[in-house]
Structure 1
């Protein structure tokens, strides 16, 4: 039986299925503001011509072990880099420099243009911090960091420094989004959806870990599995975690996802 658009939309709706969902967003913002206030850093550094094309960079004491970049989600439609600073806590405590790039959102830009912005941000950050580069991203950010692990996206010299990609609750195949109401804003067509789908492409050979919460929506369990299977990547399923708390392990250097990412 053919699903209605409302039923299709429901498959990719997270907040409506999480108790007191807004409290999670409020907590992200508050904790991140506190984290920035407690740490000196380079904030709102421009890497491109757009007002949102800015990144934050915080260095540990001493020489960084490398660079840890977190790319936020929000279905390429919403959220801001400032909402997520605290999720660099685990990497910073482990001696890594941490960065949070912002990027322009749909409908002003298409997803392929957002991919290009993240590549530009990672390249600019790589010029500021030596050593290995770990990329982590959540939801749409999980899609974007996976795209960085594909040929022809990052400059060769930067791609060669990637030591791990941590794709958390990613959207790895964009084709199902073509039928969703959000695509009225994303403006994906079939060609872009296929080209921007990591699960349909080939990785560079960089180690990749796909993380998903065991209590996430079935669509996200599928999306994570599709990427892990297509790329032969390690998959971590966190029991009891949903789409809004699956990222909590980023704040703990000893969590399974951080142990996988930082080695």
Structure 2
């Protein structure tokens, strides 16, 4: 509407200027000319304002469309993303573990990086990583969030479990050392008494025997069978009692 009015005002101004060219001293025409010039300036300003508003609205619509397109991005298992943590409502780097739900209501199981916390989020709670985004290391303290009570309890539980394992290992190692010391003492006492124990004083049962027919690990291997003296049948001698 303003553009049509502007054209009308400009035509009227040209007519007034034409009339003034023949009657330059006409005060009424001069006043009308000033009014038309003022109307033209105001109309131009209004048109410029409308165009700026329309351009801004178009830009905002485009931005929202791009945002909606980005939020509707389909993720697959293994994709890196930003997900909203239910504990504090903040966005954290995560990885998609699995995808479920219908196409219009996708559900994503995500694992937050650096915490190994798994949560189920919908399409509005997950978005693509910004261009050039670098995920901070868990130890850097950047984007650090406070652990939930359940996570703290789980961490404490794992800590106690690991401590218990270390205690059991230490106890077993101590027991093994004590058994070894006891065995060494026993072996030394036996050696003093002249009892030879294989494996002590550098002798091993797995030592290669000197006999070429011997076998490793077999005591007495290669020496042949032990001879057994056969005993004869006992015969009763009645004269033996009389002689006594």
> TM-score normalised by the shorter chain: which range applies?
under 0.3
The structure that has the greater radius of gyration is 2
Higher RCO by CA contacts (8 Å cutoff, separation 6 or greater): 1
TM-score by length of 2: 0.18
TM-score by length of 1: 0.17
Greater helix content = 2
